[in-house]
Amino acid sequence: MGIDKVEPSDAELVRRVRTGDIGAYGALVSRYRDRLGRYAVHMIGDHEDAEEALQDSFVRAYRSLARCYDPARFGAWLYGILVNRCRTTGARAARRRRMFVHDADALNGATHADQADRVEWTDTVDRALARLAPEYREAFLLKHVEDLEYVQIAELTGAGISALKMRVKRAREQLQQYLREAEHV
């Protein structure tokens, strides 16, 4: 109802931030937090660490905004910052990975069969994803969950396109294997 307000473009918001309108950066944060947050959570495997990485990335992007040479592609540029930041955290989190939040009690207490199934499936997927090597997981998430083109992923990660395709293929194979194993437990 009413007239839809036209949202300012990324380029417009970046322009405003550069002229001193800090508040405009808030709009950019709003715009990208959920999508980037999803990648960070799946990549890092720990919600708190992921939010920290996300927050850091936003701050870093703001502070180096002068180096965003194509403001219309702010989102992709921001992704690159996040992908790199997640690599650092990944190394830390791997050592103290807090996974498998769903314990048996949670499943036993589920009043709904569907809900128990949902929890179990989520858990299975999280475990399988966590077992992937980081570069496989990264490529898989960027390609299949975040829907980026190989050209874009190559830009973000610095890897060659054929190497990336191989990583995604390996990731798929390993996921199939882990899930088959999970079924037989």
Partner 1 sequence: MFEREDDVVERVIQQLRRPVTIDPGLDARVMREIADAPRAKPRVWPLWSLLATAAVLGTLLITHPWTRADQSGPAAFQFVFVAPQAASVSLVGDFNDWDPNRSPMQTAQGVWATVVNLTPGRYRYAFLVNGVEWRADPGAPSAKDDEFGTPSSVVTVGGSGS
Partner 2 sequence: MIIVALVLAAQVAVQDPRFERLDPDTRLAVVAMIDSARGDGLPVEPLIQRALEGATKGAAGARIVAAVRRLTVDLGTARTALGTNASGPELEAGVAALRAGATPQILTRLRTVRRPPLTMALSVVADLVASGVPADSAAAAVLALAPKARDADLVEFRRAVERDIALGAPPGAATSVRLNAGASDVYSQGAGPGAPQPRAHRP
* Residue 129 interacting partner from partner 2, partner 1, none (CB closer than 5 to 8 Å by kind): partner 1
Q: Which of 7, 9, 21, 26 binds partner 2 (CB under 8 A)?
A: 26
Cβ pair 139, 168 in contact under 8 A: yes
Q: At its nearest, how many Å lie between partner 2 and the CB of residue 22?
A: 13
6 binds partner 2 (CB under 8 A): no
Q: At its nearest, how many Å lie between partner 1 and the CB of residue 121?
A: 7
* Residue 110 interacting partner from partner 2, partner 1, none (CB closer than 5 to 8 Å by kind): none
* Residue 2 interacting partner from partner 1, partner 2, none (CB closer than 5 to 8 Å by kind): partner 2
1 binds partner 2 (CB under 8 A): yes
2 binds partner 2 (CB under 8 A): yes
Q: At its nearest, how many Å lie between partner 2 and the CB of residue 25?
A: 12
* Residue 75 interacting partner from partner 1, partner 2, none (CB closer than 5 to 8 Å by kind): none
Question: Which lies closer to partner 1 via its Cβ, residue 23 or residue 160?
Answer: 23
Q: At its nearest, how many Å lie between partner 2 and the CB of residue 31?
A: 13
Give the chain as a DSSP string. --PPPPPPPHHHHHHHHHTT-HHHHHHHHHHHHHHHHHHHHHHHS-HHHHHHHHHHHHHHHHHTGGG-S-GGGHHHHHHHHHHHHHHHHHHHHHHT-------HHHHHH-SSHHHHHHHHHHHHHHHHHHHS-HHHHHHHIIIIIS---HHHHHHHH---HHHHHHHHHHHHHHHHHHHHHHHH-
Please report how many Cα atoms fall inside a 13 Å half-sphere around the Cα of residue 104, on the Cβ side: 0
Interface ranges with partner 2 (CB under 8 A)? 1-2, 26, 30
